[in-house]
Structure 1
Amino acid sequence: MSSAKPIRLTYAFDAYCGWCYGFGPALHEFAAANADRIELRVLSGGLFSGPRALPVSAYPHIPGANERIAQLTGVTFGDGYRAALKDGTVVMDSADAATGLAALRSQQGANALDAAAAMQRAWYVDGRSLSDAQVYRGIAAELGLDADAVAAAYASPAARTEAEADFLQVRRLGVDSYPTLLLHTAHGTDRLGGPVSSAAALTQALDQHLAAVTAA
């Protein structure tokens, strides 16, 4: 049953977070199934920002983590990504990725969750750096957005400022791991599900939280 006022949710993710890539399909299915009653915003976290923005080879745990992610969520990692891992020189810079998301979601008709998924495919399937402006042109075309406008937005100080604002909001929400899906009600903010939750489990958790709030 639809409520008159949309239920507010926040998805805190990082484009370079493998667990977020694994969680993506379930979250998309959940968002589609509950589209008539939720309002979902997507915020970037700064997982690999500042001194942590390093070549992927600086994080030797990643291949093992990917195996576990694939096993638990069913996602697949593409040949382009595997080649990028083997090469090891791509710098994972979450500030650049967050700027890219800000540029994409600022466009008329853009869906932030679709943009986030397209960015993760660019990295985890094709192995393309999310610091490359051309990547955002390609994503814009894929999503039916104006590639020139997206490229201009990506290069603008406003998008970088918005990316930094995302990082600040995520910290203020107390998020310390990704992916994190938060439910906002008049009673406060609660975490919904976890990295390996199915769409059905997320919907069930949402219903349970709302029932508890209504009963309170």
Structure 2
Amino acid sequence: MKLVYVFDAYCGWSHGFSGTLREVVSRHPELPVEVVSGGLFIGSRRVPIREFGYVQGANAKIAELTGAEFGEAYERLIADGSFVMDSEAAARGVAALRQAAPERAGELAAALQHGFYVDGRSLSEATTYRKVAEEAGLDADAVVVAFEGPEAPHTAAHDFHRAAELGVTGFPTLLAVDGDSVTPLAHGHATADEIDRQLAALPTP
């Protein structure tokens, strides 16, 4: 069995879930974690952030419920409303980091969200992935090449297809996958204890 974490790097609720995911992973080192990017802001939803009037209110609720941090640099980045959240670019970056260290995919996804929501770094910029890679001790040049390479759009599209294939319609979603069996463990918000109870209730092979 493995855990499949379907998230979007530009999703505030996914940012809020980072702490729970970290705790679940530390409690269950025996479970591999596959990280899949969902396409929250693609196509017609790839527009300036001002068109999503609920962002600040939602972030306040996320912070209250999960303790997630939304930094001053992030507030400055989105202040004039012109910033465009591009989930396709973010998915390319997640894939590049995941390729460099598959076994650390969950940790790297959280680091990337910290880069945006705390440090105010655009997830469309190669420099963001370079910084995350360097701080994680990875080959930063290789990560940037993967982010910018000709295969990158296909990798992002594959993630979006995988998320849809798993039946995921909202982010974040944590699934337990065992062969053809897919069991939802969390959607939106959950504590590590709640997820543990779900895992304990799964039938043993």
Contact 2:88 2:156 in 1 (8 A): yes
> What corresponds to 1:12 in structure 2?
6
Structure 1 residue 109, shift from structure 2 partner: 6.6
Query: Residues of 1 paired with 2:133 and 2:188: CA distance?
Result: 27
Q: Which moved more, 1:186-195 or 1:15-24?
A: 186-195
Alpha carbons of 1:187 and 1:94: their partners in 2 closer, same or farther (altered >3 Å)?
closer
Structure 1 residue 107, shift from structure 2 partner: 1.2
Q: Which residue of the other structure, out of 58, 62, 67, is the alignment partner of 1:65?
A: 58
Check if 1:34 corresponds to 2:28. Answer: yes
Q: Which moved more, 1:82-91 or 1:159-168?
A: 82-91
TM-score by length of 1: 0.90
> For residues 136-191 of structure 1, what are the alpha-carbon distances to aligned partners after superposition, in whole Å with 9 as ceiling and x for unaligned?
11011011011111111111122221111000010111100000011123562111
Q: Which moved more, 1:102-111 or 1:68-77?
A: 102-111
> What corresponds to 1:148 in structure 2?
141
Structure 2: unaligned runs, 5 residues or longer: none
Structure 1: unaligned runs, 5 residues or longer: 1-6
Q: Which residue of the other structure, out of 164, 168, 171, is the alignment partner of 1:175?
A: 168
TM-score by length of 2: 0.95
Alpha carbons of 1:64 and 1:190: their partners in 2 closer, same or farther (altered >3 Å)?
same
RMSD: 1.5
Contact 1:22 1:70 in 2 (8 A): yes
3-state SS in 2 of match to 1:214: coil
Check if 1:25 corresponds to 2:19. Answer: yes
Structure 1 residue 198, shift from structure 2 partner: 1.1
3-state SS in 1 of match to 2:176: strand
> What corresponds to 1:99 in structure 2?
92
Contact 1:49 1:94 in 2 (8 A): yes
> What corresponds to 1:51 in structure 2?
44
Aligned residue type for 1:31: V
3-state SS in 2 of match to 1:91: coil
Q: Which moved more, 1:84-93 or 1:16-25?
A: 84-93
Query: Residues of 2 paired with 1:169 and 1:134: CA distance?
Result: 27
Q: Which moved more, 1:101-110 or 1:146-155?
A: 101-110
3-state SS in 2 of match to 1:193: strand
Query: Residues of 2 paired with 1:134 and 1:183: CA distance?
Result: 34
Rg larger for = 1
